[in-house]
Structure 1
Amino acid sequence: MKVERLELEGVLLFTPTPFHDDRGFFTRTFDADIAAEHGLDPNAFIQDSQSRSRLGVVRGMHGRSGRGEAKLVRAAHGAVLDFLVDARLGSPTFGEHISVRLDDVTFAHLYVPPGLLHGYQALTGTADVCYRIDREHDPAEDLAVRYDDPDLALPWPLPVSTISGRDLSAGSWKELRSSLSA
């Protein structure tokens, strides 16, 4: 499994080597030893979740207050363009963003450390995204920034087909920055 450190501090991309034959393929989706070699506690991930989205759907930009939430994210079916925004005060990459294509060809897994905002757009007719999360969800800790916030200017690759009411009513990056420094 190839492991890359990406531009935002602490973000890792794990890319396995799938085995293909006339039956289809087999790939490892998680390896505790490799995670540990790269500073992750494999036992910390206590919840697995999955979402299904249609072409053009945007989910995000979400985060958690308090001690945040670490997660491993992958596309089990289809493809998404995944965005991360560093919302960690004091981080050398605070306010910066990156995007990573996750799909069912490379099976890359994105490690998202606590303190980042996360969201994605479905690039295929159906996209199933799986999350391995290190904390139980507490709605009182939810943070959100509107996906089309002009200060973030995230370059969504497709016209947005659907977005939830919750995400449409999310606050701005400026408001979140202000609340983080308060």
Structure 2
Amino acid sequence: MKIICTEIPDILIIEPEVFQDDRGFFFESYNYKKFAEATSHLFNFVQDNHSYSKQNVLRGLHYQIRQPQGKLVRVVSGSIFDVAVDIRKSSSTFGRWIGYEINAENKRQLWIPPGFAHGFVVLSEFAEVLYKTTDYYAPQYERCILWNDPDLGIDWRLTTSPILSIKDKAGKLFPESEVFTQCPILAMK
């Protein structure tokens, strides 16, 4: 398992070692010990989510103001452009975003720790996305930042208008959004 650091130090790309032959392939998609070493924290995943989305569906930018969720995201079919926005006010990367293409072929995963808003857009005809979370879904604490917020300026790699849910169309602008005043990772120690 190869760990790749990103421009935002707490976000990691995890690239598995894939064993492939004429029968197919095998790889270890998660290993608690290796993950804990890579993140320098002991995160317990409590929930697995699975979504299916058509091309140009954009989901996000979601987060929970309480019970913040760290997410380990991977794609088992298709391709997405996955985005994370740092919403930790005390962070040196507050308000910055990063995005990476992850897909069924490269088998990469993106680790997005608590304290980030998350979203993705489907690049392929469809995509199935699996992600583990470090806390349970709590709809009363869920928040959404508007996907096309001008202050964030996210390049979603769109060639046409995205397909959005009612919730995502109603997201708040970044300056009006609730953010974390204390880093959720530090609060978990």
TM-score, reference length from structure 1: 0.92
Structure 1 position 61 matched with structure 2 position 45: no
**CA shift in 2, pair 1:180/1:30, >3 Å:** closer
CA deviation digits over 1:46-105, x for unaligned, max 9? 110110111111000011103521110111111100011100011010001100111111
| CA drift at 1:18 | 1.3
Counterpart CA distance in 2 for 1:117 and 1:65 is 10
Between 1:158-167 and 1:52-61, the stretch displaced more is: 158-167
Counterpart CA distance in 1 for 2:7 and 2:165 is 29
CA deviation digits over 1:7-36, x for unaligned, max 9? 113111110021221222212111112112
The one-letter amino acid paired with 1:141 is Y
The one-letter amino acid paired with 2:168 is D
| CA drift at 1:41 | 2.1
Alignment correspondent of 2:174: 173
| Unpaired segments ≥5 residues, structure 2 | 182-189
Between 1:145-154 and 1:17-26, the stretch displaced more is: 17-26
Counterpart CA distance in 2 for 1:171 and 1:103 is 29
The one-letter amino acid paired with 2:173 is S
Alignment correspondent of 1:155: 155
- The size of the alignment, in residue pairs, is 179
| Unpaired segments ≥5 residues, structure 1 | none
CA RMSD of aligned residues (A): 1.5
CA deviation digits over 1:161-180, x for unaligned, max 9? 41101100111111016x66
Whether the aligned pair in 2 keeps the contact of 1:60 and 1:118 (CA below 8 Å) is yes
Whether the aligned pair in 2 keeps the contact of 1:16 and 1:106 (CA below 8 Å) is no
Counterpart CA distance in 2 for 1:12 and 1:110 is 6
The one-letter amino acid paired with 1:88 is R
| CA drift at 1:4 | 1.4
Counterpart CA distance in 2 for 1:141 and 1:115 is 13
Counterpart CA distance in 2 for 1:24 and 1:160 is 37
Whether the aligned pair in 2 keeps the contact of 1:62 and 1:119 (CA below 8 Å) is yes
The one-letter amino acid paired with 1:155 is D
Whether the aligned pair in 1 keeps the contact of 2:67 and 2:141 (CA below 8 Å) is no
Alignment correspondent of 2:93: 93
Alignment correspondent of 2:77: 77
SS of residue paired to 2:177? helix
SS of residue paired to 1:33? helix
Alignment correspondent of 1:123: 123
Counterpart CA distance in 2 for 1:168 and 1:143 is 12
In percent, how many aligned pairs have the same letter?
Answer: 32
SS of residue paired to 1:17? coil
Alignment correspondent of 2:22: 22
Structure 1 position 109 matched with structure 2 position 99: no
